Chain A
Amino acid sequence: MIKIEHMSKNYGPYPAVIDISFEVLKGEIIGFLGPNGAGKTTTMRVVTGFTPPSDGEVTVGGYNVVSHSLEVRKHIGYLPETVPLYLDMTVTDYLRYMGEIRGMSSKWVNERLPKIIEMVRLGDYRNTLVGRLSKGYRQRTGIAQAILHDPEVLIMDEPTIGIDPIQVVETRELISDLGQEHTMLLSSHILPEVSAICKRVLVINDGRIVADDKPESLSDKLQTFERIELSITNEKNSDFISKMRDISIVIDARSDQRASKIQRSQRENSIPYIVDAKPNSKASELISKTIIENGWGLTNLTPLPMTLEEIFLELTTEEELGE
């Protein structure tokens, strides 16, 4: 349904998205995950035809977003990050206007409008001015305009941002329901949200796609190593890292930047490290043995389970180091 091939987008000299390629099949719900400023919104704007790509080709339903922009727009329902609402219109008037500018006949609008309002549970507010709605209801109004013309492709940019937890749950449910009938590209920087709704996750950072997989296998894949947090004392030279790397089961060892500040103030000589080892390899035993053989003192050794947040952090920070 959506096909992006080697797409890049620059804002002046600044690259926002660098050579990304992916495909969204019909009926798929894809989560687009990344920190703020990673290029999610830019990619979505390119897909909707709001801004053209600087390079590469993007098609929606077989239509090129640049040369057949109008065709593309007919097939897309779009909810931008800041929900675009006319504050001085009522919910019904707003939705009717949105339907009209998408070329729907007034008969079609009249038939569909009550259904949509029911679907997003805005029934009690149909004649309220949009400007008086709470954030969550504004979000629903935004979702309503995106699905009003029954588009094949739904593009939602951070649909649950800035609304309270109860409404977040309701909005997620609504989006899950919508995903059963639409091809959907959904962006977020909240991991559980994406893994709850989406069948496939694209992780984007600094304008590049760093992972493309199912949410479960994304964590499986990355948990192919065991992470161990440890602190040692009496380390005279800084050959700890190289000694660790000499152990066959160790994948990587590095000093723990985040923990070092706290720990140093507590225990003067203790230096925190992180060691990643192959899973199920009795890594803790081997590592502690090596430490003792070298005459270092071991003050802490904790195997760490990885959360999705850490996987995400791992993916994105590794990307930064690679540059």
Chain B
Amino acid sequence: MKFISIIALKEIRTYFASPMAYVVAAAFLAITGFFFVASVSDAFAEASIRGYLAGAVFFMIFMSPALTMRLIAEEQKLGTLELLLTSPLREFEVILGKFIAAFFMIFIMILLSFFFILILFVYGDPDLGPILSGLLGLLLYASATLAVGLFSSALSSNQIVGLVVGSGILTALTIIDFISDRITGTAAKVLDSFQLGASFSVFDLDSLGVAEGGHFADFARGIISMTDIVYYVSVTAIFLVLTTLVLESRRWR
């Protein structure tokens, strides 16, 4: 536990010391702000954060791997991984520490976007339930995307490879319904159950992407379903374990 917090604190300090975190946070607020404004600025528009959620879910496909791409790739490039792994700490402590640091950064960004909700309460009469469930869903979704990003970062010493592979995996999991819509039967159902978040109907401002399909839809509607929680927690756990295995794989080579 001690080592996890040491690693996490070091990574958080590094985030704040480099421009990366500020650039990513600014982009996150700009993109989600655009979606938020688009969803609430019409007359008679619904006072909800569904636009914001749709923007966040879409943008995290790129943002999460961008936040995590440095974490392991750079250690491999600098050779510091050799030092970390010859120190008396275990692989999973390194991985978990880094994951927590990245999650903390996303958590801060979501905190920063609270003024969207504030605006809703000042100018409208929003329903608090779906807002809270949506934010819970967003945190779960973020952790799954970060785990995928961390895994991609471990694959090589090149950060760009980490970014591309991570975004690639997340995009594939997002547009899975392109395929499942075109087939029928059990296969379609199985594929559907792997749908990560919203599909690209995110650009359809009527449904705002989160209305249908994917494990995120229910959270946006105000429904907290065990299936969805288990799904996101599983994706997170699976990819964190895979990341640990990638680091441990040097033992079998």
Name the CB-closest residue of A to B85: A50
Interface presence of A98 (CB below 8 A): yes
Q: Which residue of B lies closest to A74 (CB)?
A: B88
Q: Are B85 and A86 in contact (CB under 8 A)?
A: no
Q: Using a Cβ–Cβ cut-off of 8 Å, how many residues does chain B contribute to the interface with A?
A: 24
Q: Is A78 an interface residue (CB 8 A)?
A: yes
Q: Which listed residue, A11, A48, A70, A83, touches B253 by the CB 8 Å rule?
A: A11
- Interfacial chain B residues near A85, Cβ < 8 Å: 78, 80
Instruction: Give the dominant DSSP class at B's interface.
Output: helix
B residues in contact with A89, CB < 8 Å: 14
Closest Cβ neighbor of B94 among chain A residues: A101
Taking CB atoms and an 8 Å cut-off, the chain A residues in 220-268 that contact chain B are none
Given A48-B86, A50-B85, also A12-B253 (CB < 8 A)? yes
Beyond A12-B253, A51-B251, whether A97 also contacts B79 by CB under 8 A is no
Q: Roughly how many angstroms separate A98 CA and B80 CA in the complex, as a whole number?
A: 10
CA distance A266 to B148 in the complex (A): 68
Among B2, B7, B10, B79, which residue has its beta carbon within 8 angstroms of that of A82? B79
B90 interfacial by beta-carbon distance below 8 Å: yes
Residues from chain B with Cβ under 8 Å of A84 in the complex:
78-83
Known: A11-B253, A100-B6, A101-B6. A80 touches B87 (CB 8 A): no
Asked if B41 is at the interface (CB within 8 A of a chain A CB), the reply is: no
> What is the distance, in angstroms, from B42's C-beta to the closest C-beta of chain A?
46
Determine the interface band of chain A, counting residues with CB < 8 A from chain B. 20 to 34
When each residue 62-106 of chain B gets 1 if its CB lies under 8 Å from chain A and 0 otherwise, what string results? Answer: 000000000000000011111111111110000000000000000
**Any chain B CB within 8 A of the CB of A25?**
no
Please measure, in the bound complex, the distance between the C-alpha atom of A51 and the C-alpha atom of B86, giving whole angstroms.
Answer: 10
Q: Which residues of B contact A97 (CB under 8 A)?
A: 6, 10
Write the nearest CB–CB distance from B156 to chain A, whole angstroms: 17
Is there an interface contact between A101 and B18, defined as CB atoms closer than 8 Å? Answer: no
A71 and B82 CA atoms in complex are apart in Å by 17
Max chain A C-beta neighbours (<10 A), residue from B78, B79, B82, B85:
B82
Question: Is B17's CB within 8 Å of the partner chain A?
Answer: yes
- Tell whether B121 is near chain A: CB-to-CB under 8 Å: no
Binary interface profile of A, 111-151, with partner B (CB < 8 Å = 1, else 0)?
00000000000000000000000000000000001000000
Q: Say if the beta carbon of A73 comes within 8 Å of chain B.
A: yes
Structural contact, B87 and A102, CB atoms closer than 8 A: yes
Q: Which residues of A are at the interface with B, using a C-beta cutoff of 8 A?
A: 11-12, 45, 48-52, 70-71, 73-74, 76, 78, 80, 82-89, 97-98, 100-103, 145
Shortest beta-carbon contacts, A-B, top 7: A84-B80, A84-B79, A84-B83, A82-B79, A48-B86, A73-B88, A100-B6
10 A-B pairs (CB sep. < 8 Å): A49-B86, A50-B86, A84-B78, A84-B81, A98-B83, A101-B87, A102-B87, A103-B2, A103-B3, A103-B88
